[in-house]
Structure 1
Amino acid sequence: MELAIETRGLGKRYGRTWALRDCALAVPAGRIVALAGPNGAGKTTLLHLAAGLLRPDSGDVRVFGHPPAAALPEIGFVAQDTPLYRDFTAAELITMGGKLNPRRWDAAPARERLAALGVPLDRPAGKLSGGQRAQVALALALAKRPRLLLLDEPIASLDPLARREFLRTLMGAVAEDGTTVLLSSHLLIDLERTCDHLVVLQDARVRLTGPVDELLDAHRTVVGPRAGSDEIAGVAQVIRAHHSERQATLLVRRAGPIDPLWTEHEVGLEDLVLGHLAAEVPACSG
C-alpha cells in the first residue's frame, strides 16, 4: 500500500508549548482525509509540516516516501485565509502560477473551472467574494496537478452554497486525477459527505485515525440500565458515558454482538468525533 503521508514521532514546539507531539500517521494514497479537532489541536501545524513550510523539532514526515522539500512539486496547498495577490486578476494569477511551476502546470482546466463557476477572470482578486477567492485558490492548487492536496479550513468562512460549490469542484477534480486530499475543517457534516479517512487531533496528539467506514462500523451508541453499564457483553471499550438516574447512554467500541438487553444505534461521523474529543481515553487508532 502506497502512503501519501507517513509520520513517526513527529513533533513541533513553539517555545515550551508542543503544537504537535509524538504524531504517528500512515495516510494511504488516493484517500480524501478529514483532519478534525478543536482549535489549537495541531491541525495547521501538521499541514504546514507536510507542506514543508515548517521543520519538525522531533521525528520526521514523509510525503510519498520523501521529505516534503523533495516532494514539493507534487504538493498543492490552500491556506485558511486563501491568500492571493489582491491586485492580480484570476487570469494573471494562473499565468504567474505557470511561470512558478513550469513542469506540471495545467492552466486550461483552471480557467475552465472558474469560468463554469462564473468567477470573472479579469477582476482583481481583492474585489472577488470570499467564495470566489476560495475557488481561485483551489483552481491554482489543482492546476499544479498535485498528487497530494493540503487544505487548511478552506471553507470555514463560506456560506452554505459557496461551501457546496467548493466541495463539488474538489470532488470532481479528485475523481479525475486520484489526488490524495488532507482536508482540515470544523464542519463535520461536510467532512462526512466527502471524506473516506479520518484523523482526529486533540491536545497536540493523534486521538483517532483510520478509514471512516471501519471506524463507524466499530462504534455504536448503546442505551440500557445504568446498573449494568460497568460490563457489557460485546463492548471492548466505553468511549463516552452519559448517565441519568436509571439509564446509561454510552458511545462504545464494540468487540462483537452487543448484549441484546441494550438498545444499539449506529453513529455518524459527528457523534464519533465529538465523543472521542470529549472522552478521557488514550489516543487510539482504528
Structure 2
Amino acid sequence: MTAAIETQGLGKCYRRRWALIDCTLHIPEGRVVGLVGPNGAGKTTLLNLVTGHLAPDAGTIGVLGARPGSGPGQLAKVGFVAQDTPTYPGLSIADHLRLGARLNPGWDRPYAEQRIARLGLDPKSKAGRLSGGQRAQLALTMALAKRPELLVLDEPVAALDPLARREFLDELRSAVTERATTVMLSSHLVSDLEGFCDYLIVITASRIRTAGPVDDLLAAPAGSHSAPAAQATPVTPATLEDLVLAEMGRVPDPEVETRK
C-alpha cells in the first residue's frame, strides 16, 4: 500500500538534546492519523518534519513520495495548521481567501466562501479583531480549501467549543471520504479522536511508543506493539482512551539527551 508518510530512523536534535529519536513509520494514504503524547514528547517536532518546516538531523523522511518541502508541487499537496492557528492580523477574511486563491493551484473558492458564510463570519472583518476560536476557524478554512492530499493539524480544535469541534471533525471525515485525503491530527483530547481516527501514533520521551491501525491496536494487549516495559500482564484495552493511557503510562526507555 502506498505510503503518505514514511520515515526510517528519523531524528531531530536541538542543542545536543534529541527531541525525536529513531522514528520509523509507514502511514498508508487515506488514513486519519491521531498523534498523541504528553507535552514535550516530540509531537510538534514530528509534524514540522512532515511539513518541511524542519530538516532532520538523522534518518530519512518521505511525504507523498518526495522530500518534505522539496518544491512548489510538493508544497501544494500538503496543508498545515500550526498550533497557534496563524493568520495575518491586518488582513480581512476576504483578503485571506484571495491570498489562498493566489498561492494554491487547487484552491476551492466556493467551499471557502460557503464555509465562512456558514460560520457567520463577516468577510470584511480583520483577522486581528477575531476571537481565538474565529481565527482558528479561518485557519482551518484556509487549510481545507487548499484541498491537499495530506492535511497536517497541530492541536487544531483547542480553541473551539465542543459543538464547533464536532462540526469541524465531521468536515474532516467528509474530506477523507470524498477526496481520499490523508489527515495527521495532533490532539490532547482523546475523546475527539475516538471514532474518528483509524490510525494511532503514541509518542513519549521523544520516541514512538506504538503506531498502527486503531482496530489492530485495540485487538491486541496494550504494550504488545511497543518496547518492553515493567508491566506484569498486558491487558487488552476496551477503548482508544484506555489504549492511550496504557501506552503513555508505560515505563519509557532511558531518554537519550546527547548523541554523536
**Displacement after TM superposition at 1:175 (Å):** 2.3
**Displacement after TM superposition at 1:72 (Å):** 1.4
Distance, in Å, in 1 between the alignment partners of 2:96 and 2:122 is 12
Q: Does structure 1 residue 86 correspond to structure 2 residue 69?
A: no
Structure 2 residue ranges without an equivalent (≥5): 254-260
| Two-structure CA RMSD over aligned residues (Å) | 2.2
Moved over 6 A (4+): 237-240
Distance, in Å, in 2 between the alignment partners of 1:144 and 1:219 is 40
Aligned to 1:105: 107
Q: Does structure 1 residue 11 correspond to structure 2 residue 11?
A: yes
**Displacement after TM superposition at 1:115 (Å):** 1.2
Q: Aligned letter for 2:214? A: V
Contact between 1:76 and 1:142, CA under 8 Å: does it hold in 2? yes
Fraction of identical pairs, as percent: 54
TM-score by length of 1: 0.81
Aligned to 2:146: 144
User: In the alignment, which of 262, 271, 281 is matched to residue 242 of structure 2?
Assistant: 271
Q: Aligned letter for 1:95? A: R
- After superposition, give the CA deviation of every residue in 1:24-75 in whole Å (9 maximum; x if it has no partner): 0011100000000001111100100010000000111101121012321100
Distance 1:120 1:171, change over 3 A: farther
Contact between 1:240 and 1:278, CA under 8 Å: does it hold in 2? no
Structure 1 segment 206-285 matched on structure 2, within 5 A:
206-219=208-221, 251-252=234-235, 267-280=238-251
Q: Aligned letter for 1:182? A: M
Aligned length: 248
Distance, in Å, in 1 between the alignment partners of 2:207 and 2:34 is 16
Distance, in Å, in 1 between the alignment partners of 2:112 and 2:91 is 16
TM-score by length of 2: 0.89
Contact between 2:204 and 2:252, CA under 8 Å: does it hold in 1? no
**Displacement after TM superposition at 1:184 (Å):** 0.2
- After superposition, give the CA deviation of every residue in 1:91-114 in whole Å (9 maximum; x if it has no partner): 11010111122x222222111112
- After superposition, give the CA deviation of every residue in 1:214-242 in whole Å (9 maximum; x if it has no partner): 1111137xxxxxxxxxxxxxxxx997859
Q: Aligned letter for 1:52? A: G
- After superposition, give the CA deviation of every residue in 1:168-192 in whole Å (9 maximum; x if it has no partner): 2222233221110000000001011
Local SS of the residue matching 2:59: strand
Q: Does structure 1 residue 189 correspond to structure 2 residue 191?
A: yes
**Displacement after TM superposition at 1:130 (Å):** 2.3
Distance, in Å, in 2 between the alignment partners of 1:238 and 1:56 is 27
Higher relative contact order (CA 8 A, sep 6+): 2
Aligned to 2:258: none
Q: Aligned letter for 1:69? A: G
Q: Find the structure with the greater CA-based Rg.
A: 1
